[in-house]
């Protein structure tokens, strides 16, 4: 076991975000690392922004040239397969989008948030889903982590096209 942990800074820019989520974030991130068998190799920091659609839209437009909000954005600051230490990156979440998706998909808000945090954190660690094989690997990692968190498989009801 590593002597290091990740310091997670949470900035809550929208009061609609439930405060208890902050208590779950450390557990979700550490479960992701444990499940993947990854070790933090030095002091590490992760920044989370709990914001709204308006701010998320601006971030998405500035960084991805997509002028719309999105549920989660990840900004890795380490290279894939690099040591997990230092400033790992930033992850931002849009409250309205996350809430609407949870309602539409009939999921508990905190379970949907946990899935998006795992998804965003996997991007920080170098996972991606641009190619089919990458998407399968990332989804398999998400499923394993979420199962350890006692959260239902978010892909179980998705029908292959």
Helix axes 132-148, 109-124, angle to 10 degrees: 130
Please list the residues that pair with 72 across neighbouring strands. Answer: 93
Nearest one of 132, 100, 130 to 113, comparing CA atoms:
100
- Does residue 122 or residue 80 have the better pLDDT? 122
What digits encode the pLDDT tens for the residues 76-120? Answer: 999 988 899 999 999 999 999 999 999 999 999 999 999 999 999
Percentage of the chain with pLDDT > 70? 95
Using DSSP's 3-state secondary structure scheme, residue 67 falls into coil
Residue 129 annotated as binding?
Answer: yes
Q: What is the CATH number of domain 6-148?
A: 3.40.390.30
Q: What is the reported pTM?
A: 0.93
What digits encode the pLDDT tens for the residues 54-66? Answer: 999 999 999 999 9
Span 29-39, average pLDDT: 95
DSSP 50-112: EE-HHHHHHHHHHHHS--S--SEEEEE-S-TTS-S-EEEEEEEEEHHHHHHHHHHTT--HHHH
User: What is the chain's mean pLDDT, rounded?
Assistant: 93
Backbone angles phi, psi at 48, to 5 degrees: -120, 135
Span 39-46, average pLDDT: 95
Residue 27 annotated as binding?
Answer: no
Residue 111 annotated as binding?
Answer: no
């Amino acid at each position: 076991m590593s002597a290091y942990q990740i310091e997670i800074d949470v900035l809550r820019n929208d009061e609609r975000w439930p405060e208890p989520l902050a208590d779950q974030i450390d557990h979700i991130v550490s479960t992701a690392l444990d499940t993947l068998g990854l070790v933090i190799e030095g002091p590490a920091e992760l920044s989370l922004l709990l914001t709204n659609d308006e701010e998320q839209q601006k971030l998405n437009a500035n960084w991805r040239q997509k002028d719309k909000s999105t549920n989660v954005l990840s900004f890795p600051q380490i290279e894939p397969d690099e040591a997990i230490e230092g400033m790992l990156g930033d992850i931002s979440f849009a409250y309205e989008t996350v809430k609407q998706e949870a309602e539409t998909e009939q999921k508990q808000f905190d379970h949907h948030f946990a899935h998006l945090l795992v998804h965003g954190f996997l991007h920080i660690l170098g996972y991606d889903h641009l190619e089919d094989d990458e998407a399968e690997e990332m989804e398999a990692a998400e499923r394993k982590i979420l199962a350890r968190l006692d959260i239902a498989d978010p892909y179980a009801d998705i029908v292959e096209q």
